[in-house]
Structure 1
Amino acid sequence: MYDRVWTKPVSVDLPEIGRVAISTAREAADCLLDHWPEDHSHAYDEALRICLEVYEGNETPEAAREAFIRAARTVAVPVIFMEPSRGSK
């Protein structure tokens, strides 16, 4: 279960760096820690906690995805829903 790729990846448009594709709890945690707008909220704290709990095996990757989307919406960061990758050729 450790940091599986999300079944439905997302992208977010961040003010400082533009569009970032997110498909794992690790990528979400990195995004939250390194690139998130300064306006941190309870949803931000919860998303970061859940992303880190994925490493401990206490949360699912999909729970991290849902929490990350909630955190983005809380601070008006646009979320773009992507099609899952079909694998490499």
Structure 2
Amino acid sequence: MRDIPWSKPVRIKLPYGMQRNVEGPVAALDLLDREWPARQGRHYEAARSVCRAALERMTSAEAAREIFISASIEAAVAVH
């Protein structure tokens, strides 16, 4: 699946200390599916859905970026 770069990467710090630069919906989905500390919640589910929609060109990559930030806040993942 080909990624669509965000206008500005989202730098996050996961609760166990790992930092990541998330540059688009593919990387966001990978994190949400493999490393996310809270796999439930309204924003978590929305982020997964909107990231997939962005990759299918059904919404913008920037919409996926914004909901990913919301999911980060919901999960107490630090956003820089």
Structure 1: stretches of 5+ with no match in the other structure: 81-89
Q: Is the 8 A contact 1:3 1:61 kept in 2?
A: no
Task: Describe the superposition over 1:9-54 as per-residue Cα deviations: whole angstroms up to 9, x where unpaired.
Answer: 1111112361011011000010100000035211000000000111
**Counterpart for residue 67 of structure 2:** 67
User: Matches of 1:69 and 1:20 in 2, distance apart?
Assistant: 13
The count of aligned residue pairs is 79
User: Matches of 1:57 and 1:11 in 2, distance apart?
Assistant: 24
User: Matches of 1:24 and 1:39 in 2, distance apart?
Assistant: 19
User: Matches of 2:13 and 2:24 in 1, distance apart?
Assistant: 17
User: Matches of 1:15 and 1:45 in 2, distance apart?
Assistant: 19
**One-letter code aligned to 1:60:** S
Q: CA RMSD in A?
A: 1.4
**Counterpart for residue 55 of structure 1:** 55
Structure 2: stretches of 5+ with no match in the other structure: none
User: Matches of 2:4 and 2:55 in 1, distance apart?
Assistant: 10
Which TM-score applies when normalising by structure 2?
A: 0.89
The percentage of aligned residue pairs carrying the same residue is 34
